[in-house]
Amino acid sequence: YRYCSKKRSGTSKCGASKSGETCGGVGTLYRIISKQQKKRKCRCKAGTCWDSKKLECKQDASLETRKQLLKDHGDLANLKQLQNQWEDFSAEEQKRAWEEKVVKMKMPSGAFEDAKPDQSINGKWICSQ
């Protein structure tokens, strides 16, 4: 085990070796003072991870890959949003094109509505009445 403040038997001081360990920073002290955390704990510094076989922090070989995956994840979310915007735009354009092809009839109020067939003259010559 590692310790940050009081040495106990069978333990070694956190970060005593150049292994990339730390006891935390200001945030850790705040959590201790506000009683969200009881004591300081040894942690690996940024860019390192715990090696349980050697019992020390070592350089993280996958750090760049993880950073790239996080960036790609953000780019993918942005791409999905752009795709949704394109689908909305395309649907609106198709609706507008359809509305332009539909025959409109001017109503007495001056508004235009979709023209509907008049059932009273359906199938008859208009001039025959």
> pLDDT tens-digit profile of 22-72?
776 666 565 556 665 566 677 787 888 878 787 778 888 888 898 899 899
* Residue 12, pLDDT score: 65
Parallel, antiparallel or unpaired: strands 2-3 and 12-13: parallel
Indicate the pTM of the whole model: 0.40
Flag whether pLDDT at 126 surpasses 70: no
| Torsional class of 67: left (φ above 0), alpha (ψ -120 to 50), beta (otherwise) | alpha
> What token pair was written down for 73?
């994840």
* Residue 61, pLDDT score: 84
* Residue 39, pLDDT score: 65
What is the rounded distance in angstroms from the CA atom of residue 37 to the CA atom of residue 24?
Answer: 12
| Position with higher pLDDT, 110 vs 26 | 110
